[in-house]
């Protein structure tokens, strides 16, 4: 990836599944002000394309204001319409080579689960970053693939492509991933569905 990586901005924040009211945008600005977030991914599985476009335009403006990379989940065509910084692709989404034709030189990240074979393919396809996990149990989505620190260490040995660690990351387990050279930590439920801490309080515990 050609973008400068600032170590303290290690959070890759994923949106909640639903953005229900206008207070969300204020919360997002307050989170961005902590200067811990490098990426924000729009992941609205249950929204219509029309609503994703409306919400995405608002979020893109906020991301630009705070110099946070705006990534759209699953959908390179929507990413292109929103003029986002890039797109994240799962293994069942559009193939990366087709997405690269749509998005040209923009960021395209790939989910590689816990598979060195998928990592190798993502490297070959010139992915901008590789997402591996899940490192911990997660309430955000069902865990089909479990990853561990040994896998992270192996991936670091074979590539310099940035690695995004995913899966149930919170203030009590995040440090081990950073110490083992994960470049970014994808976080969602810990911020949005935390019963103990408000979003800004939760993110400030990631030091």
CA distance 162 to 176: 17
Q: Please, what are the averages of pLDDT over each run of 10 residues along the chain (207 residues)?
A: 57 94 96 97 93 97 98 97 98 96 97 97 98 87 86 96 97 96 96 96 95
Residues 6+ apart with CB under 8 A from 86: 69, 71, 72, 79, 103, 106, 107, 108, 109, 128
Rounded to the nearest 5°, which phi and psi values hold at 67? 55, 45
Residues 6+ apart with CB under 8 A from 28: 40, 59, 62
CA distance 128 to 75: 16
Domains in the chain: ranges and CATH: 11-204 (3.20.20.70)
Look at residue 7 in the predicted model and tell me its pLDDT.
57
């Amino acid at each position: 990836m050609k973008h400068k990586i600032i170590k303290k901005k290690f959070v890759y924040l994923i949106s909640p599944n639903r953005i229900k009211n206008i207070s969300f945008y204020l919360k997002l600005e307050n989170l961005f002000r902590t200067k811990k977030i490098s990426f924000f991914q729009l992941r609205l599985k249950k929204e219509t394309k029309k609503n994703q476009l409306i919400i995405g335009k608002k979020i893109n403006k906020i991301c630009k204001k705070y110099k946070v990379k705006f990534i759209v989940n699953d959908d390179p065509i929507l990413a292109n319409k929103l003029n986002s910084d890039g797109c994240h692709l799962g293994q069942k989404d559009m193939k990366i080579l087709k997405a690269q034709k749509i998005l040209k030189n923009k960021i395209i990240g790939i989910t590689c689960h816990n598979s060195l074979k998928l990592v190798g393919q993502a490297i070959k396809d010139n992915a901008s970053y590789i997402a591996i996990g899940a490192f911990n149990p997660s309430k955000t989505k069902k865990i089909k693939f479990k990853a561990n620190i040994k896998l992270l260490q192996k991936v670091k040995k074979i590539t310099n492509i940035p690695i995004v660690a995913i899966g149930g990351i919170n203030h009590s387990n995040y440090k081990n991933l950073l110490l083992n050279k994960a470049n970014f930590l994808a976080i969602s439920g810990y911020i949005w569905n935390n019963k103990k801490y408000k979003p800004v309080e939760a993110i400030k515990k990631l030091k």
